[in-house]
Amino acid sequence: MPSRLRIITRRTLVVLNIITAVFYLLSCLAPYIKPTDSWVIAVLGLGFPFLLITLIGFIFLWLILKLRRVWYSVVVLLIGYKSINVSWAFNAPSAFQYQKKPAQIRVASWNVARFLEWKRNNNEKSQIRLKMLEQIQKQSPDILCLEEFFHSPDSAFYNNVTEIKAMGYPYYYFSYDPDGDYQFIGSAIFSKYPMLDTGLVRYFRPSIPEALVHADIKVNQDTIRVYTTHLQSVQFRQRDYEAINEIQSAEDSLLANSKTVLAKLRKAMSLRGSQADVARQILDDSPYPTIFCGDLNDTPNSYTYFTIRGNMQDAFLKKGFGIGRTYSSLSPTLRIDYIFTDHRFSIKQFTRVIKYLSDHFMIMADVELKKN
């Protein structure tokens, strides 16, 4: 009887290994298939890290059991090497050196979540807003890209443009997306260096991301172009987060909650895929050495990431270590904020500022233009 139980257990594990391998391979297709063509593949791409961990678990299991079928899982694992390479940074961990060299440019990107509080008051969110401003001043990058940036000239609300300019950023460009009377939310670039030109492109409706903005910035004798944007979010509300928790704990109606969450994921992924196509076309037309910062709302194993990055360098992959989570909720695998540069830059170092203020972590990199 124990022998029969062992056979059944082994066969069950083999079937589960095959199912994992199939889903893993399908998830590896996500960067190459537009979400509008297959949203199922796009959702599987989101689950790539978990499928990878499960597949590695089977490899260790077969090694312990000394079974030859381990090689099948190893081959499947290696087929997804491109997805692995963008999902994990393999550099040795190192401390960020805040003493910046003169030839280097320090660039930071941060989704500030509207600074949490709009109206002038002294509540808890306003206190967090002050801490966020203190963090910006402490990090003091040369070029600061902010997504979900809130500003209002109305004296009843916070005038965040003026406050950040006072930190030593005389040059700025803001998309000024209206969100009420004299209230604006959008993408912003602040710079200690002069801006020679600026511009923006607004994405099509019905999507509601922030515009793709750029600034041509004079750095010593060189001109560089910096882009920032915030692509379509899933727009989960409180009830959606509750539904995810219920799914995880198998409470309430699993099917109904899953349908709601998947419907929002499907819509957002499809819109982001089209936005990525627009952004890529604009990036290709840049006449200057280019830096791209932004909240793409998508993980590295996605059509959005591969399309916008193109052949640019990912600062985290160059100098970071591990998964590099930038979104503090839902899952530890969510690296959705990025700094890319073209190959006319060398990336010297990278860091994430792990402070639970916004729901995103600030990311920062030192880059340097290569000599001709």
pLDDT grade for 252, boundaries at 50, 70 and 90: low
The percent of the chain in helix, strand and coil, each rounded to the nearest 5, is 40, 25, 35
What are the backbone angles phi and psi of residue 362, rounded to the nearest 5°?
-70, 140
Task: Kindly report the length of the chain.
Answer: 372
- Omega into 206 within 30° of 0, i.e. cis? yes
In a domain, 143, yes or no: yes
Single out the residue in 27, 53, 87 at which a domain terminates: 87
Please check whether residues 219 and 253 belong to one and the same domain.
Answer: yes
- Are residues 142 and 220 located together in one domain of the fold? yes
CA gap 335, 298 in Å, rounded: 8
Q: How far, CA to CA in Å, does 128 sit from each of 95, 117, 133, 325, 329?
A: 26, 9, 9, 21, 17
Give the model's pLDDT for residue 5: 82
Query: Does 201 share its domain with 305?
Result: yes
Whether pLDDT at 255 is above 50 = no
Tell whether the model's pLDDT for residue 208 goes beyond 80. Answer: no
Judged by average pLDDT, the poorest of 76-85, 150-159, 231-240, 334-343 is 231-240
| pLDDT score for 254 | 45
Segment 308-331 mean pLDDT: 95
Name which of 289, 259, 269 is nearest 336 in CA terms. 269
pLDDT at 245: 47
Does 8 map to a domain? yes
Domain check: are 83 and 123 in the same one?
Answer: no
Residues 181, 51 share a domain: no
Six token digits for residue 100: 């910046």
Please state, rounded to an integer, the average pLDDT across all residues of the chain: 90
Range of the domain at 303: 105-369
Whether 228 is in a domain gets the answer yes
pTM, entire model: 0.90
Same-domain status, 187 and 254? yes
User: Do 276 and 307 lie in a common domain?
Assistant: yes
Please write the tens of the pLDDT for every residue from 289-309: 999 999 999 999 999 999 999
| Amino acid sitting at position 32 | Y
Rounded Cα–Cα distance for residues 73 and 87 (Å): 19
pLDDT digits (tens, 9 = 90+) for 147-202: 999 999 999 999 999 999 999 999 999 999 888 788 999 999 999 999 999 999 99
The answer to whether residues 352 and 362 touch, using CB atoms and an 8 Å cutoff, is yes
Q: Which two tokens stand for residue 102?
A: 């003169």
